[in-house]
Structure 1
Amino acid sequence: MTSVKPLEGTFAGYVDYDQGLVDRRIFSDPDIHRIEMERIFARAWLFMCHESQIPNKGDFFQTYMGENSVIVTRAADQSVQVLLNHCMHRGNTVCKADSGTVSSFMCSYHGWTYDLTGKLVGVPGFKNIYDRQLDKDKWGLRKAAHVESYRGFVFATLDPEAPSLREFLGAPGVHMIDTLANFGDMEVIPGIIKHRLQCNWKSAMENDQDYYHVGISHASLFDSIGEAMDDVNQGYWEDQDGEIIRGEYGHVADTIPEHNHANVFPHMCMFTNLLQAVVIRHPRGPMETEQWYFSFVDKNASEEERRAILQRNIMRLGPGGVIEQDDGENWELSTKGAAAPAMRNVPVNYQMGVGNGELVQESELGFPVMKARRTNEEYARWQYRAWADWMDADSWQGLKANHAHPDHPEKLPTPFER
């Protein structure tokens, strides 16, 4: 892994978990973004696709690991490969399609050709120009260090030192995926909803369990379906009990039956009960994010049920949807506000619910949860606390040795000084 140094002391200095304050520079600083790509996105297990998208030999799906283009393929031996989409000759992409079925990948620049495992199998002029001197075995496509699947959800990591996927997810992360997978024999409905926003990827991440904004930001939605705003706000702002799931390495989820949003850090969110969807937030620089929505359905569902799920997700989550237009504008304006020179030394406030939760070691889920108000900013605080752990660790070994444990609050760091 590339050796980098924090900009000012440690990155724990950017996050005051105990007081609920976060340095707003983390949402816009290009140097911080660069380190995020090296220490988070090049190290974490990232969701690639669902196995239903690549069921047969030669099937592929193009996606990203951070800002690296990669191809997920189903090889001849049925193994799943994750290949960096860059020719080893000059770096040109070898695949330009979003998905499909092929027997090989050829660079359109000079014609170097690779098989489904990334092996270099074709070089124009190999005999007459290279005089057979090119060692093709050494010039195959770069690959992800590890690829694993859990219940059909394919993950990969670029870091050879990464722990197993199950260790990364922990019991909370496994529970989050199970919650969606248990809806049936799930598969992805063809067609990924994609759109870009002028916002930092973390602004979108923290919104998934933010129930404080619902009655304000989405007032037009509730008005259109005939729900009184007083009733909506009462449902979210009353002192109602909830359960906050906090996993190691930044995973968070709620257990609200009618919603249930779950985040696998850093970029995957699952909407289970309400939408049966997964959203991936691909960073595109410090102030731009590309969102990809995958809609899931039981393989045994009728065509009518499939259309209903897809139509519902397009209407709510698409770039012209009644939810994402509201949220996207908020995230864009918040990111611009974080970059405003006059606000540079003003922390972002995440103080809702500080000190009000109760850690329950023996929960019905089989792992510790926090009992607290259902509307709470503990979700975001925990994610940013984990963010600092990732950023301060120079290796997976260091991260495993020094990170906050949800069932051991005493391991939290000393708050930063202002």
Structure 2
Amino acid sequence: MDHEKGLISREIFSDPEIYKLELDRIFGRAWLFMCHESQIPNPGDFFQTYLGEARVLVTRTKSGTVEVLLNTCAHRANTICKADSGNASSFMCTYHGWTYNLEGKLVGVPGDKELYGSSVDREQFSLRKAAQVGSYRGFVFATLDPTAPPLTEFLGPQGRYIIDKFANLGDMQVTPGIIKHRMRCNWKVAVENDEDYYHPGITHASYLDALGSSFNEANEAFWSQEGSVVLGEYGHVGDTQAGYDHSSIFPQMTLLTSSLQILEIRHPKGPQEIENWYFCFENKNATEEERLAARMNQVRRVGPAGLVEQDDGENFELSTQGSAVTAVRDAPLHYGQGLGQGEIVHDEELGFPVLRSKYTTEAYVRWSRRAWADWMEADSWSALQENHARLGEV
């Protein structure tokens, strides 16, 4: 990687060994989004998701606390819950019947006395848990690393600002049903597109045409606007643009704070595959007509017959395939748009430094890739905290 020239190696999007290290040093240490509190409001409610590639259950316990349990039985490693979400008093493995409560404690072993002589240590063989669980503005996060800093520190003022913008849209709740589909692409390719204002006029030309907009009108809307580009510690990126605001919490969560009101998660499934999850939100206090209009808008974009994400998906897959071609493996990718342009200033209203520039700039992805390198080079959270890029220093 050459940060000064905006050049990125193709290998980071396809190499299996790099991907394995990402699972350890990024997905094994970062605070990752689990669910929204509106999805688990009552004791016994649960939601199944992933920490990296690890399947987990987010549970609301009888006391009202939230736990994140590794969804793998301590007996033979089978999944203890196959449902995506629901309400339960306990979870029983369907292989041999070992049973766990909402806190993950082993509470039932068939034949414990007759077959094991009551020798199973129930504390030792309870479910593994996320090392830490936290919530900010109703958004639940977890990390596998016990040495990770508190969630609010990980988010920093920039990450909190990104979530605040979304949460401030109203009394937000997740519409039941998560839209899911897979793509044969690297997770970073998908995430970096979320702040790419360079592609809409080309990639989504047919969609814009259906809306009565032209290529030139789209480019005028995106390319000419200037404002504050938000570049937060540990890789969070966003902007202050109104109407078309895509902002990301590192490593794989994107919030669309516009009329869409969508949260995107890119779950890694290997170096060249992801599973996209789309959480569609609505304001509890909106009228039924307004909620229906929001749902239709969301489905038109990311639903099974959506008009936008399918365009993006083709680009993601072809770009990932191109990054793995041996003949051009040594040819770097160009991320130099806006390089050397703009000015870093302290925004008094926001309370942190921002980059004043055009919104259509690759500063977003250059910052994300720089943060990615920080995560990959650090062998511990303490090392990462000591050595990572800060906007005022670059």
Q: TM-score range by the shorter chain?
A: over 0.9
Q: Tell me the TM-score normalised to structure 1 length.
A: 0.93
1:352 matched to 2:337? The reply is yes
1:98 equivalent in structure 2: 84
1:4 equivalent in structure 2: none
Of residues 179, 186, 191, the one that matches 2:165 is: 179
1:48-70 deviations in Å (ceiling 9; x for gaps): 00000000010000000100000
Instruction: Output the CA distance in 2 between the equivalents of 1:34 and 1:363.
Output: 41
Instruction: Output the CA distance in 2 between the equivalents of 1:22 and 1:318.
Output: 32
Of residues 122, 131, 138, the one that matches 2:117 is: 131
CA contact (8 A) 1:189 1:306 kept: no
CA contact (8 A) 2:259 2:294 kept: no
Q: Which 5+ residue runs of structure 1 have no aligned equivalent?
A: 1-14, 410-418
1:145 equivalent in structure 2: 131
1:369 matched to 2:354? The reply is yes
The alpha-carbon deviation at position 307 of structure 1 amounts to: 2.1
CA contact (8 A) 1:71 1:84 kept: yes
CA contact (8 A) 1:176 1:253 kept: yes
Q: Point out which structure has higher relative CO (alpha carbons under 8 A, 6+ apart).
A: 1
1:9 equivalent in structure 2: none
The alpha-carbon deviation at position 181 of structure 1 amounts to: 0.3
Identity between Structure 1 and Structure 2 (%): 59
1:273 matched to 2:258? The reply is yes
1:315-369 deviations in Å (ceiling 9; x for gaps): 1112421110110000000000000111100011100011102000244211100
1:405 matched to 2:357? The reply is no
The alpha-carbon deviation at position 237 of structure 1 amounts to: 2.9
Q: State the one-letter code of the partner of 1:165.
A: L
The alpha-carbon deviation at position 242 of structure 1 amounts to: 2.3
1:286 matched to 2:262? The reply is no
Q: State the one-letter code of the partner of 1:336.
A: Q
1:113 matched to 2:99? The reply is yes
How many pairs are equivalent? 394
Moved over 4 A (4+): none
Q: State the one-letter code of the partner of 1:407.
A: G
1:18-417 equivalent positions in 2, closer than 5 A: 18-238=4-224, 240-409=225-394
CA contact (8 A) 1:253 1:261 kept: yes
Mean Cα deviation higher: 338-347 or 302-311:
302-311
CA contact (8 A) 2:106 2:126 kept: yes
The alpha-carbon deviation at position 211 of structure 1 amounts to: 0.7
The alpha-carbon deviation at position 134 of structure 1 amounts to: 1.1
Q: What SS is found at the alignment partner of 2:197?
A: coil
CA contact (8 A) 1:363 1:369 kept: no
Instruction: Output the CA distance in 2 between the equivalents of 1:305 and 1:227.
Output: 24
Instruction: Output the CA distance in 1 between the equivalents of 2:304 and 2:193.
Output: 17
Instruction: Output the CA distance in 2 between the equivalents of 1:113 and 1:71.
Output: 14
The alpha-carbon deviation at position 110 of structure 1 amounts to: 0.8
Q: What SS is found at the alignment partner of 1:136?
A: coil
CA contact (8 A) 1:317 1:324 kept: yes
Q: Which 5+ residue runs of structure 2 have no aligned equivalent?
A: none
The alpha-carbon deviation at position 234 of structure 1 amounts to: 2.2
Q: State the one-letter code of the partner of 1:61.
A: F
Instruction: Output the CA distance in 2 between the equivalents of 1:122 and 1:87.
Output: 12
The alpha-carbon deviation at position 286 of structure 1 amounts to: 0.4
Instruction: Output the CA distance in 2 between the equivalents of 1:362 and 1:261.
Output: 20
1:68-119 deviations in Å (ceiling 9; x for gaps): 0000000010000000000011100001000000010011111100000000
The alpha-carbon deviation at position 288 of structure 1 amounts to: 0.4
1:187-217 deviations in Å (ceiling 9; x for gaps): 1110101110010000011001101101000
